[in-house]
Amino acid sequence: MTRIVFVRHGNTDWNIEKRAQGHSSNSLNEMGFRQAELVARRLSEEKWDMLYASDLLRAKQTAEIISSQINLPIIFDQRLRERNRGIIEGTIETERIQTWGKDWRNLGFWQESYASLRVRGRHFVEEMHERYPGKNILAITHGRLLIETLYELVPNETNNEDLLNNTSITIIEMNNNCWKYGLYNCTRHLKSEAITQ
């Protein structure tokens, strides 16, 4: 059975500020590094066959900490990048309203569509399943990309959360020719004060 384990990157200052991160390569903050160390320790308890990651800095840093614990090289894949936020990247809601008005969402601003995210995520998962049947694959990625990928692949299983927690673990497994959840947004490796979005 192919098993793909997604880990969202650790916390950043832009997460705290609720800035549109998109393709920016901003670093983990102190909490993010701590979260990455804790999830790496948890993941080191299992055997992994492949480690993939987004090449954006916050995911790369998370993956490097995990790699050091599980002794696997990282394969960077741009399909695991976060949604491209176009010209709103780096801004917060109040700044967007001040600049473009309260209906700024209707203006587009060259943001990547959710449909595009779903295609990217599906292509990644399908390739992993085809190339590594029966293997355990780790993929370090981003919140919105992961949510849209899950909507695409597991449409009959809905989740109420809009965002996945930083360094949460979500597992999908191929079972009877369809993807099923093995785990969703799990943060048991974190203490309550270290759980962030």
110 is in an annotated binding site: no
Query: CB of 80 within 8 A of CB of 141?
Result: yes
Active site residue 189: no
85 annotated to bind ligand: no
For residue 150, what are its two tokens? 């899950």
134 is in an annotated binding site: no
Give the other-Cβ count within 10 Å of 155's Cβ: 10
Identify the active-site residue in 9, 89, 129, 142.
9
If you write DSSP's letter for every residue of 80-102 in order, what string do you get?
GSPPP-GGGTT--HHHHHHHH-T
Burial 110-140 (b: 16+ CB within 10 A, else e): ebbeeeebbebbbebbeebbeeeeebbbbbb
Tell me whether residue 13 is annotated as binding.
Answer: yes
Among the listed residues 46, 64, 82, 112, the single catalytic one is: 82
15 annotated among ligand-binding-site residues = yes
Half-sphere exposure of 19 (CA within 13 A, CB side): 15
- 196 a known binding residue? no
User: Do the annotations mark residue 105 as ligand-binding?
Assistant: no
Q: Is 165 annotated as a binding residue?
A: no
9 is catalytic: yes
Binding site for substrate: residue ranges? 8-15, 58
Binding site: residue ranges? 8-15, 58
Q: Looking at the annotation, which residues are catalytic?
A: 9, 82
